[in-house]
Amino acid sequence: METYVLRPIGVVRSSLRDLENAPRQPDEGAPEAELAFDPEVAAALEGIEAGDIIELLTWLHQGSRDTLQTRPRGDAARRMTGVFATRSPDRPNPIGLHTVRVIEAGPGTLRVAGLEAIDGTPVIDIKIALGPQDVR
């Protein structure tokens, strides 16, 4: 099958430095982070404002692309499960999907709440999140 080239559009700047300290689920708490964008794509941020909920797509560069099955949350008591039935960072295309709230939108940057991604994680896409009352 044809392959495609992903070009990161920016990078995560966060106090999270490694996966061990990264929370596994949103309700375990994750720090605010800054998204710093490539100046070449900054125009694509126009219209994103504080308070918006966005779907942030990252490239989980530390994920293992050869892993097809895993135990959810590393729990040895659980049976092996296909990675597509989980949120594991280990998967053939290690894309991270994070629904986060924008705290501040600056020129070429966004500050977001509660992001479970380590410092240096490449950002590959952003989409406005659609709620029932928020179709645009």
Query: CB burial class (10 A; 0-12, 13-18, 19+) of residue 109?
Result: middle
Query: CB burial class (10 A; 0-12, 13-18, 19+) of residue 99?
Result: exposed
Chain positions contacting its own copies, by CB under 8 A:
1-9, 11, 25-27, 38, 41, 43-48, 52, 54-55, 57, 59, 61, 68-69, 72-73, 80-87, 91-93, 95, 97, 122, 124-128, 130, 135-136
Write down the least CB distance from residue 38 to its own copies, Å.
7
C-alpha span between 115 and 123 (Å, rounded): 12
The smaller minimum CB distance to its own copies, of residues 2 and 20, is found at: 2
The smaller minimum CB distance to its own copies, of residues 19 and 48, is found at: 48
Rg for the chain (alpha carbons), in Å?
A: 16
The smaller minimum CB distance to its own copies, of residues 32 and 125, is found at: 125
- Specify whether the CB–CB gap between 113 and 103 falls below 8 A: yes
Write down the least CB distance from residue 96 to its own copies, Å.
9
